Chains A and B, each alone.
Chain A
């Protein structure tokens, strides 16, 4: 592939023809601010925050969609660029609820991060503000379109990651809205609640409902694990605060699924806190279960399995292991069946 030499902030860069300015800058560690750009989605060039100065060009092109040309000289942080970015942020903030102190997305909000970086506290532009009703009618996703910056990431994720095509743009100008067909709530739309829109949203417009009020983003530990439902083997992070799981967050390093998940993986985890969870061993006495200590349970099992094996022989025992449990647990169950109970009567639901 043809390599092209350009200069970014005084640094010589050599990248393949067709590369965008943003990717060329990324390749040498120069980070250009971006709101609508997402590495997993098609480039839109909508937010304009990634503008840069290109020598000989009197306009400031959006670096996420502008390909390089030989000898291009780029400045990513010139006074004109900084001024433009500040104005863009001021325009966005002019119509954004500045309730960051109670917004659960703070700490993972790109808009707040860039406002902090460019010193944008409030907007000199005063005008009409949106007063959209908050979509709170489903159990998984909290949708506050007042916080939407129209980056279109949710629209692209719905179409390009999931292929559900449930989101699009409605209206023009100030009234433009990224929403469902007919502007109905998610629950009344074709939404499959995969939550990819939440995973890519750079602001507080789309949030995991279970996490609201549960902790600031910087207080949350992320524990990478593998989904317990189907055989695809998606990875994600369990969001943990004070020893409690409060949600599931996409992890872009996931080999199989990248950031994509489904309704079960992203939102079905709360079965672990179902009040019907068993917390103590139970022993059936006179047809009724009674709580027992671990010792009582283990001793009774050892005694009865031992007696039955002695009385009826090895073949009188069978074990059902589990396609839902870990490899290690399955290994132990088959080892137990073979080495201790003395037969090969071990199976699991692969066939049923």
Chain B
């Protein structure tokens, strides 16, 4: 996030939510949005589903799935036509504005209304509201990124914020609410194929040299494989061995039959896990993992805030995860002799300028610190891009409409969209006895009009089939979803929704198009 969660209640005058069901997927952030809306902060919700926050919203833009770019372009079209853009910000802080202007010229309100399903007058009102509100924050999550055009969706939101000067202050910005507890941290730590910790590019000679010196081994300078490419390479026989820590791609990655095939093709697989998961079943060796309650360390939240994780009980398998990894690697002839996670952090931070000022003593004293935090006397950074962007000038990256990779047709007439429900967190909470005692099975959402045509009532069962697989699910009949759409979560191993999801990926990030694919439904 460019900005901080606290600004929702302390600074924002408008919250623009798109593709985020915040009260369910990030509940405590969602509570704050609700509090803000109730104290008078304007709330715009863009979502095809009637999520809870719609009930608090000033405007609900119930757009058709996969129409984010035309919607945002349409808003920018109106803003420019009405002269509501921030000319000073554009002039001083950005480049490529003319190209943006040329692209959005092609998205007049009438055309956008047709593509998105949002009435023209609502487009005008929301465009004016966003442009003329001084402190307006944009929030998005996977409803924006889990599309074939996910990166382009994000760029479009950045265009909108820059066009109106909503950057580099409190109460503005573009705020992706990150999914997992430490997805921000895993990225920050360089668990990515193109960067070391602190986003230092693996292809830069000076960076390579720095890490060769620090780690005492030659460093590879070719960008590595992204997850989908890893499984593709496994299918092709190029990747022969894998180590998987605390992930269950068989349930969580799109098009799971393809993942299973990749894992099957491996010669050797090591999985470090809490449970014998669907992915661990394919392992040759399973290392038992310790849970968050059993390890010291840190997580970094969605607002770049580094916070302590503290060991409350002894590791149930006898070893904390860092100890297991260190021993495994040491046996391979590369000694990892850390006395504690604190020492690991210190080494990491000493090689990452943006986090060099964060250490366990300061975290103990202050509770948390937000990077960038380059020195130990730096207070951390609540909001970013003050005065200038990381790259200097903000680059407008105009995009045209990119329809989803697979849309309903005669054979597969329903659109499947997926997401999280309040009571579950991905594929971990199904191991919570308390939670499973109440919310124990998938309840796919289906519009009453469709349900009536098919003779389906809440509690009935459906077979859902896509071109890639089939699952069985119970149904909840509700107008939370539009006609023609079925919505499912992916939490339950008995209904592995990702057997259905699309094989289409965002070409830049490799993120799967979980939000749109075509399915057919049969009552059983």
Q: A residues within 8 A CB of B511?
A: 351-352
0/1 per residue, B252-275, Cβ < 8 Å to A? Answer: 111000000000000110100111
Q: Is B453 an interface residue (CB 8 A)?
A: no
Chain A neighbourhood of B306, CB < 8 A: 327
Task: Mark interface residues in A225-263 (1 if CB within 8 Å of B CB, else 0).
Answer: 111111111110010100111000000010111001111
A-B contact count, CB below 8 Å? Answer: 460
How many residues on B have C-beta within 8 angstroms of the other chain's C-beta atoms? 141
Is A161 among interface residues, defined by CB-CB distance under 8 A?
A: yes
B49 contacts the other chain (Cβ, under 8 Å)?
Answer: no
B367 at the interface (CB under 8 A from A): yes
**Nearest-neighbor residue (CB-CB) of B203 within chain A:** A344
Q: Is the CB of A331 within 8 A of B197?
A: yes
Instruction: Determine the interface band of chain A, counting residues with CB < 8 A from chain B.
Output: 35 or more
B317 in contact with A280 (CB, 8 Å): yes
- Interface contact B345-A328, CB-CB below 8 Å: yes
Across the interface, do B301 and A233 meet the contact criterion of CB distance under 8 Å? Answer: yes
- Asked whether, in the complex, the Cβ of B293 is within 8 Å of the Cβ of A320, the reply is no
Determine if A171 is an interface residue (Cβ-Cβ < 8 Å).
no
- Annotate B222-263 by CB proximity to A: 1 below 8 A, 0 otherwise: 111111101001100011111111110100111000000000
Of the residues B193, B245, B331, contact of A345 by C-beta under 8 Å = B193
SS of A interface (majority): mixed
Q: How far is the CB of A176 from chain B (nearest CB, A)?
A: 26
Q: Which chain B residues (197-230) contact chain A, with CB distance < 8 Å?
A: 197, 202, 211, 215-220, 222-228, 230
Q: Mark A312-331, 1 if CB is under 8 A from B, else 0.
A: 10111111111111111111
**A234–B326 CA distance with the chains assembled, in angstroms:** 29
- Closest-by-CB residue of A relative to B190 is A334
What CA separation (Å) do A319 and B422 show in the bound complex? 31
- Residue A121 is within 8 A (CB to CB) of chain B in the complex: no
The answer to whether B298 and A344 touch across the interface, beta carbons within 8 angstroms, is no
Stretch at the interface among B26-34, B68-76, B154-162, B458-466: B26-34
| B180 and A230 contacting across the interface, CB-CB below 8 Å | yes
The answer to the question of B289 belonging to the interface, with a C-beta cut-off of 8 Å to chain A, is yes
A138 to B435 Cα, complex, angstroms:
10
**15 A–B contact pairs at CB < 8 A?**
A139-B438, A162-B31, A228-B291, A274-B275, A274-B432, A289-B286, A301-B285, A302-B328, A319-B245, A322-B191, A332-B336, A338-B220, A351-B227, A352-B249, A352-B512
Q: B: which residues have CB within 8 A of A?
A: 5-6, 25-29, 31, 34-35, 38, 56, 177-194, 196-197, 202, 211, 215-220, 222-228, 230, 233-234, 238-247, 249, 252-254, 267-268, 270, 273-276, 283-289, 291-295, 297-303, 305-314, 316-319, 321-322, 325-329, 331-334, 336, 341, 344-345, 347-348, 367-368, 422-425, 428-429, 431-435, 437-438, 506, 509-512
Q: Which residues of A pack against B, CB within 8 Å?
A: 138-140, 160-163, 187, 192-194, 210, 221, 223-235, 238, 240, 243-245, 253, 255-257, 260-265, 267-272, 274, 276-284, 289, 292, 294, 297-302, 304-306, 308-309, 312, 314-340, 342-352
User: What 5 pairs across the A-B complex have the smallest Cβ distances?
Assistant: A233-B301, A326-B297, A344-B224, A322-B246, A231-B178
